[in-house]
Structure 1
Amino acid sequence: MNLFVKQSSRLIKGCKANDRSAQEGLYKQFYAEMLRICYRYLKTDDLASEALNTGFLKVFSHINEFDEVKGELGAWIRTIMIRTCIDLSRKELKFSSISNYTDDLESVFVEPTILSKLYAEDLLKSIRKLPEASKLVFNLSVLDGYSHREIAGQLNISESTSRWHLSEAKKLLRAMLTRSTNKMYPPTDNNKAT
């Protein structure tokens, strides 16, 4: 058993015993990773902080339900954070029903040269600028690996609506990223005489 697993096991036992120092240790151990998740899903820093705190409150309230044999602590906490972000997002957004949507994935291709010029922080800022519904579907699908069926079930929308929001998010991101890289690296005119 490695050191991280031993430490996590000790923190879980302490949290189950309602030990404040164990709760603080668990919070510190997962704070940065969970805050990044909340930033991805929510538009404002205030909402992200609210989701983080609400999520950790749920973790501590339900820690007795966690079974180390069935799963990894970080994955369990991550699931709670994602669901908390979804709950907060639901309060603010309304999904419109889109029927008979067909994928148009070729039109949302982002050139690798664009991606190689971006930093993770720039990408996160662009994702946070997406409309709420599209951002939520994009995060669930692309970053967290949920299927359209799972997303539809969690958000009470149709699978075609989920696909539409994903496609829309990719189109908007492509436009934002292209503008961003063109500002940083203006196109050069190779035809000009030097």
Structure 2
Amino acid sequence: MNLFAKPQSRLIKGCKANERPAQEGLYKLFYAEMLRICYRYLKSDQLANEALNIGFLKVFQNITLYEEQKGELGAWIRTIMVRTCIDMVRQETRFNDLKTELEDIDDVFVSPAILNKLYADDLLKQIRLLPHATQLVFNLSVLDGYTHKEIGEQLHISESTSRWHLSEAKKQLRTLLSPPNKSINSPTENIKKPK
């Protein structure tokens, strides 16, 4: 039994009736989770906050279309937020349909040991350093589980372009996350030998 079902039902009914307290309650309930999603997709905090507000505006404008029996409210709101972020990235970046053959794409392995060393915030900062298109494809594929076909349909790019961006993201992240190679001298190398 979902303990949040009853309060969410009341919030949904209130939002459908355009009641401000219900809208405020819904916003507060999903604020943190949806802001994290926006941070994942957009390069700046300002854009993430803008996407969050635009996304919630869309939620409130379309809440009458939401049907509780068809799916969980959080998933419905999350879909709106992801699509809002994609729209904002499209405005910020233009995708070039790269003609890449599948054989030319190297699948790059990022060591789990490297990923385990980083906290989520540190990893997010590294992901945000990727080019817009590459970051967007990485998030959709790795973090949200979309297929290359679905990514291509949403972003209006080919599947091979989606694969290229994912491969490029993995390469760049591996470089960003790899510790620098430092040659360590043995302690005796620095001791001067008598003549």
TM-score, length of structure 2 as denominator length: 0.90
Partner of 2:192 in structure 1?
none
Tell me whether 1:133 sits opposite 2:133 in the alignment.
yes
Tell me whether 1:46 sits opposite 2:46 in the alignment.
yes
Over the matched positions of the two proteins, sequence identity in percent amounts to: 68
Partner of 1:18 in structure 2?
18
Q: Which has the larger radius of gyration?
A: 2
User: How far has the Cα of 1:99 moved from its partner?
Assistant: 2.1
User: How far has the Cα of 1:193 moved from its partner?
Assistant: 5.1
| Residue pair 1:101, 1:161 contacting (<8 A) in 2 also | no
Cα distance change of structure 1 residues 109 and 192 upon mapping to structure 2, 3 Å threshold:
farther
Partner of 1:117 in structure 2?
117
Please give the secondary structure, in 2, of the residue aligned with 1:40: helix
Counterpart amino acid of residue 31 in structure 2: Y
| Residue pair 1:34, 1:52 contacting (<8 A) in 2 also | yes
Counting only pairs closer than 5 Å after superposition, residues 3-82 of structure 1 correspond to structure 2 as 3-82=3-82
Counterpart amino acid of residue 11 in structure 2: L
CA–CA separation in structure 2 for the residues paired with 1:17 and 1:10: 11
Cα distance change of structure 1 residues 188 and 11 upon mapping to structure 2, 3 Å threshold:
farther
Cα distance change of structure 1 residues 22 and 35 upon mapping to structure 2, 3 Å threshold:
same
Please give the secondary structure, in 2, of the residue aligned with 1:109: coil
Structure 2: state its 5+ residue gaps: 190-195
Please give the secondary structure, in 1, of the residue aligned with 2:4: helix
Per-residue CA distance 1:116-175 (angstroms, 9 max, x = gap): 211100000001110000001011111111110011011111110010011101111111
Cα distance change of structure 1 residues 82 and 193 upon mapping to structure 2, 3 Å threshold:
same
Per-residue CA distance 1:86-128 (angstroms, 9 max, x = gap): 00100111111222432311xx211222112111000000011
Cα distance change of structure 1 residues 193 and 161 upon mapping to structure 2, 3 Å threshold:
same
TM-score, length of structure 1 as denominator length: 0.91
User: How much is the aligned-residue C-alpha RMSD, in angstroms?
Assistant: 1.7
1:104 aligned to which of 86, 103, 106: 106
- Further displaced range: 61-70 or 109-118: 109-118
Counterpart amino acid of residue 52 in structure 2: L
| Residue pair 2:42, 2:85 contacting (<8 A) in 1 also | yes
Aligned length: 187
Counterpart amino acid of residue 106 in structure 2: D
Structure 1: state its 5+ residue gaps: none
